[in-house]
């Protein structure tokens, strides 16, 4: 296994890369979507976006796909710093809102996704992570939930306020959409849209040498904002894989999200099975206390999840992908993101050393 960091768009700088190298990361997972774009003051760029009901920020330019030149220029910066670019995390709602919503631009947007997948393959980036979700990572709050009052993220109950038109996956793609709300999506509709996406994009991904890695729904509830969700129990990852057996159909295995799930298959058995099957492209590894809709994110060493045990399972199954800390509580100092992430990385490195010596 390998250790890395997920970098938000504004973190694609030599200083962030140096920080990553200095605390022992070797790999980078890159968010090309700027979630904070023109967003409200409630979302600081120094923390993960929490998302009020009006969304994180504005989606990108629908006509500007991720071009090879742009990808290669970012890649050079990453490699000059001594890191390896392992994955891109998340498609831009600007490029695929109608794939998620089954809207009039669906066909054209599936072609955009295929172009992006081909470009990513040509740039030599092996994985695209994504989250096939209408409501997205919505309904969370932040507060002094973690040890010593460190600010982290969690839920204080279900959130089912409807989504305004022009918004999907917590971002605004059409500021001039007519008043009203996105109609509720049923599970059947959502799985059909998802199958269409996989069946169109996976053959292209296979050819391009790119694996598409699915994040489970965070928070993992059957519905959020009136919208059905795909993976809110660990065994729904099985249904996701069975939807299309292509070897490029992979998982972005978010251990924290799986741990937030109140029922279903045992977390450790799920990670064991999917890693043995070679279905995990990369791992988000963070800790939590409680279950949805009342869980809270914690420091990596103090929550309900036995992170060392997860690391041991992955190592035993010869998982050779990247693990990133996903999120970390903000530590009270001048660099809350860096301090929280450095603590998480140190803990993951210690886990890695322990399991390496054991076997
Ligand atoms: Mn995650």
Determine how many CB atoms are found less than 10 A away from the CB of residue 68: 15
| Residue range 208-259, pLDDT digits in tens | 999 999 999 999 999 999 999 999 999 999 999 999 999 999 999 999 999 9
Cα 155 to ligand 1 centroid, rounded to whole Å:
15
Res 139 pLDDT > 90: no
Cα 215 to ligand 1 centroid, rounded to whole Å:
7
For residue 72, the model assigns a pLDDT of 98
| Residue range 180-191, pLDDT digits in tens | 999 999 999 999
Res 128 pLDDT > 70: yes
Cα 231 to ligand 1 centroid, rounded to whole Å:
13
For residue 76, the model assigns a pLDDT of 98
Cα 166 to ligand 1 centroid, rounded to whole Å:
25
| Residue range 271-315, pLDDT digits in tens | 999 999 999 999 999 999 999 999 999 999 999 999 999 999 999
For residue 359, the model assigns a pLDDT of 80
Determine how many CB atoms are found less than 10 A away from the CB of residue 234: 24
For residue 280, the model assigns a pLDDT of 98
Res 36 pLDDT > 90: no
For residue 242, the model assigns a pLDDT of 98
Domains in the chain, CATH or no CATH each:
2-358 (3.20.20.150)
Cα 254 to ligand 1 centroid, rounded to whole Å:
4
Query: Taken in order 59, 63, 68, 73, is the CA torsion positive or negative?
Result: negative
223 phi and psi angles, rounded to 5 deg: -140, 145
Instruction: Decide: pTM greater than 0.75.
Output: yes
Cα 265 to ligand 1 centroid, rounded to whole Å:
18
Minimal CA–CA distance to 122: which of 78, 69, 77? 69
Largest CA distance in the chain: 60
For residue 131, the model assigns a pLDDT of 98
Please state, in angstroms and rounded to a whole number, the distance separating the CA atoms of residues 36 and 33.
Answer: 9
For residue 48, the model assigns a pLDDT of 84
Cα 283 to ligand 1 centroid, rounded to whole Å:
8
Rounded to an integer, the average pLDDT of 40-57 is 78
Q: Whole-number mean pLDDT of the chain? A: 96
For residue 51, the model assigns a pLDDT of 67
Res 43 pLDDT > 90: no
| Residue range 66-99, pLDDT digits in tens | 999 999 999 999 999 999 999 999 999 999 999 9
Rounded to an integer, the average pLDDT of 170-188 is 96
pLDDT class of 336 with cuts at 50, 70, 90: very high
For residue 41, the model assigns a pLDDT of 64
Cα 181 to ligand 1 centroid, rounded to whole Å:
27
């Amino acid at each position: 296994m390998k250790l890395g960091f997920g970098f938000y768009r504004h973190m694609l700088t030599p200083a962030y890369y140096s920080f990553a190298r200095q605390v022992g990361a070797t790999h980078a997972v890159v968010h090309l979507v700027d979630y904070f774009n023109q967003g409200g003051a409630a979302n600081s760029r120094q923390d993960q976006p929490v998302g009020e009901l009006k969304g994180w920020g504005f989606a990108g330019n629908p006509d500007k796909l991720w071009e090879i030149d742009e990808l290669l220029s970012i890649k050079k910066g990453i490699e000059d710093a001594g890191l390896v670019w392992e994955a891109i995390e998340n498609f831009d709602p600007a490029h695929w809102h109608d794939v998620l919503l089954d809207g009039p631009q669906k066909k054209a947007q599936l072609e955009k996704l295929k172009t992006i997948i081909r470009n990513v393959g040509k740039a030599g980036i092996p994985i695209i992570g994504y989250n096939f979700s209408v409501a997205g990572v919505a309904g969370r709050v932040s507060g002094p939930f973690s040890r010593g009052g460190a600010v982290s993220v969690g839920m204080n109950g279900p959130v089912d306020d409807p989504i305004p038109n022009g918004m999907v996956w917590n971002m605004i793609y059409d500021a001039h959409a007519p008043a009203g709300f996105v109609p509720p999506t049923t599970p059947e509709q959502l799985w059909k849209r998802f199958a269409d996406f996989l069946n169109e994009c996976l053959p292209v991904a296979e050819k391009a040498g790119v694996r598409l890695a699915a994040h489970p729904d965070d928070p993992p509830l059957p519905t959020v904002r009136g919208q059905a969700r795909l993976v809110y129990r660990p065994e729904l990852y099985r249904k996701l894989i069975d939807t299309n057996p292509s070897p490029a159909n992979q998982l972005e295995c978010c251990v924290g999200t799986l741990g937030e799930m109140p029922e279903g298959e045992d977390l450790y058995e799920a990670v064991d099975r999917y890693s043995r099957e070679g279905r995990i492209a990369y791992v988000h590894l963070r800790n939590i206390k409680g279950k949805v809709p009342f869980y809270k994110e914690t420091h990596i060493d103090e929550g309900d999840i036995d992170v060392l045990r997860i690391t041991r399972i992955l190592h035993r199954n010869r998982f050779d992908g990247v693990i990133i800390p996903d999120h970390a509580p903000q530590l009270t100092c001048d660099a809350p993101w860096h301090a929280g992430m450095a603590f998480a990385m140190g803990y993951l490195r210690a886990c890695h050393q322990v399991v390496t010596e054991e076997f």
